[in-house]
Amino acid sequence: MTNPPESGSPGPEQDPSSPGASTPPPPPPGGDAPTPPPYPGDGPQPPPGYGHAPPPPGYGQAPAGPQPYAQQQPYGYAPPGAPFAYGANPQAPYGYDPKTGLPFSDKQKLVAGLLQILIPLGIGRMYAGHVGLGIGQLAVTILTCGIGALWPFIDGIVILAGDPKDSNGLPLRP
């Protein structure tokens, strides 16, 4: 009968020379041992774009990795902090007159001219901001029993054909 081995001495189950204790098993007789497939995160991975494509991002999520066009701005927009482009200036929301370089007025030339022609009472001049001239045309039309309506009618043609300005001196926009 054998005594059980003490806790510090190697027994038959813990013999380091035994074939299955702590040494790896020998390779199979046909050659090298097969290598297990790499797991994600084990060892070096191939660069992105080789082998298989990464899965698409979820709905509402930004795609991972560098974006090839991330630094470009959309067409027609200036980069943040740049001066205003293409006439988009808060001081001139309707653009600039190419002849004078002044910003356009918020009033339209077509509306002022048609008001003068269709309602010849000086209403187009009042719309453009020339209230005194509009009241003068209204007074002449009333005092002459309608014959003075020729003045606002001709003035409407002049507004449509010329380069009229509003009460601030800005050109009416086309």
pLDDT tens for 153-173 read 999 999 999 999 999 999 999
pLDDT mean over 126-145: 97
Q: Yes or no: say if 95 and 84 are a contact pair by the CB < 8 Å rule.
A: no
Q: Is the pLDDT of residue 122 over 50?
A: yes
Instruction: Please report where in the chains the tokens 């709905």 appear, as a residue.
Output: 59
Longest Cα–Cα distance of the chain, Å, equals 145
Q: Please report, rounded to a whole number, the percentage of residues in the chain having pLDDT higher than 90.
A: 44
Phi, psi of 126 (to 5 degrees): -65, -40
Q: What is the mean pLDDT of the chain?
A: 76
- The DSSP secondary-structure symbol of 28 reads P
| pLDDT one-digit tens code per residue, 59-109 | 666 656 666 555 555 555 555 555 555 546 778 888 889 999 999 999 999
pTM of this prediction? 0.51
